[in-house]
A and B are shown apart, each in its own frame.
Chain A
Amino acid sequence: AQRVTQPEKLLSVFKGAPVELKCNYSYSGSPELFWYVQYSRQRLQLLLRHISRESIKGFTADLNKGETSFHLKKPFAQEEDSAMYYCALSGGGGFKTIFGAGTRLFVKA
Chain B
Amino acid sequence: GAVVSQHPSWVICKSGTSVKIECRSLDFQATTMFWYRQFPKQSLMLMATSNEGSKATYEQGVEKDKFLINHASLTLSTLTVTSAHPEDSSFYICSASRTSTGELFFGEGSRLTVL
Closest Cβ neighbor of A6 among chain B residues: B43
- At the interface, yes or no: B32 with Cβ under 8 Å from chain A? yes
Contact flags A33-47 to B (C-beta < 8 A → 1, else 0): 010100000011110
Asked if B93 and A94 make an inter-chain contact with CB atoms under 8 angstroms apart, the answer reads: no
Known: A43-B107, A43-B108, A43-B109. A93 touches B43 (CB 8 A): no
Asked if B54 is an interface residue, CB under 8 A from chain A, the answer is no
Please indicate the chain B residues that have their CB under 8 angstroms from the CB of A97 in the complex. Answer: 34, 46, 95, 97, 102, 104
Contact in complex: B46, A32 (CB < 8 Å): no
Chain A binding surface SS class? strand
Q: How many residues from B make CB contacts under 8 Å with A?
A: 23
Q: How far is the CB of A59 from chain B (nearest CB, A)?
A: 16
| Nearest Cβ on chain A to B79's Cβ, whole angstroms | 16
**Which residues 21-41 in B have Cβ within 8 Å of A in the complex?**
31-32, 34, 36
A-side interface residues, number (CB < 8 Å): 22
Question: Mask for B79-94, Cβ within 8 A of A = 1, else 0?
Answer: 0000000000000010
Report how far A86 CA is from B15 CA in the complex, Å.
33
Is B49 touching A96 in the complex (CB atoms < 8 A)? yes
Question: Distance (Å) between the CB of B35 and the closest chain A CB?
Answer: 11
Find residues 87-109 in chain A having any chain B CB closer than 8 Å to their own CB.
Answer: 88, 90, 92-102
Asked if B67 lies at the interface with its beta carbon under 8 angstroms from chain A, I say: no
A residues neighboring B (CB under 8 Å): 32, 34, 36, 43-46, 49, 86, 88, 90, 92-102
User: Which residues of B are in contact with A by a Cβ distance under 8 Å?
Assistant: 1, 31-32, 34, 36, 42-44, 46, 49, 57, 93, 95, 97, 99, 101-104, 106-109
